[in-house]
A and B are shown apart, each in its own frame.
Chain A
Amino acid sequence: LAKTTQPISMDSYEGQEVNITCSHNNIATNDYITWYQQFPSQGPRFIIQGYKTKVTNEVASLFIPADRKSSTLSLPRVSLSDTAVYYCLVGDADGASGTYKYIFGTGTRLKVLA
């Protein structure tokens, strides 16, 4: 089961680009890397998912090096509303049951300052 390591917290200012790096040294060949965002009193919300290289959507970019042992979530020009906890997940595929299990770590608390 691949374990992820992220910084506990980060501070940034409005308008800046924020990069949150996640370490997942034991990632398996068929594992995807997924990032979720969670606001207080809400369930986590999907941000982005990737397998290798770079993935970009309207919210963020995900950079994954060739060895896939780490990944970086990039949030362009953050605003106060991006203050949240960000989780990096590496799925655990179970070939026997044909299922995919998501294990959350402790996440990174991002605080965006005015």
Chain B
Amino acid sequence: EAGVAQSPRYKIIEKRQSVAFWCNPISGHATLYWYQQILGQGPKLLIQFQNNGVVDDSQLPKDRFSAERLKGVDSTLKIQPAKLEDSAVYLCASSHGLAGELFFGEGSRLTVL
């Protein structure tokens, strides 16, 4: 079974530029999550999708972050414009059902200069 795929693995941009991260969850997984992990901290949930609908985006900085999950499969997380404090690893995870095991991708490491 293929795991959660994320790209790019690494991205370096300057502040005020934009960046987009892509995630392909495990086939058949209805729930998709985006987490932000700052160095030395635990992952912080940014947004959670159930199929193609958003069920929780309370921690998403909506003035600069946006995410979509077209057709309930792939998802894209965008940051525009980026700030220095957005430097982090962005983790995508998916799960099959409620309270199910989360399967994480390897993450996309963003450095904002």
The answer on a CB contact under 8 Å between B101 and A49 is yes
Nearest 6 pairs between A and B by C-beta? A43-B104, A104-B42, A46-B101, A97-B55, A104-B43, A99-B55
Q: Name the residue on A nearest B95 (C-beta).
A: A100
Give the interface size class of chain A: 20 to 34
Q: Mask for B70-113, Cβ within 8 A of A = 1, else 0?
A: 00000000000000000000010100001111111111000000
Question: Which of B50, B93, B106 contacts A41 (CB under 8 A)?
Answer: B106
Q: Does B24 contact A (CB under 8 A)?
A: no
Chain B contacts for A94, CB-based, 8 A? 55-56
* Number of residues from B at the complex interface, CB < 8 A: 25
B107 / chain A contacts, CB cutoff of 8 Å: 41-43
Known: A94-B55, A99-B31. A44 touches B50 (CB 8 A): no
- Judging by beta carbons under 8 Å apart, are A93 and B93 in contact? no
Q: Nearest chain-A residue to B91 (Cβ)?
A: A43
Task: Note all chain A residues with C-beta closer than 8 A to B41.
Answer: 106
Interface hits, A26-76 → B, CB 8 Å: 32, 34, 36, 41-46, 49
Query: Taking the complex as formed, is A77 at the interface, i.e. its CB lies under 8 A from any CB of chain B?
Result: no
Cα separation A98 to B48 with both chains bound (whole Å): 12
- The minimal Cβ–Cβ distance linking B59 to chain A, given in whole angstroms, is 10
Is B101 within 8 A of A101, CB to CB? no
B106 touches A103 (CB 8 A): no
Q: Are B98 and A105 in contact (CB under 8 A)?
A: no
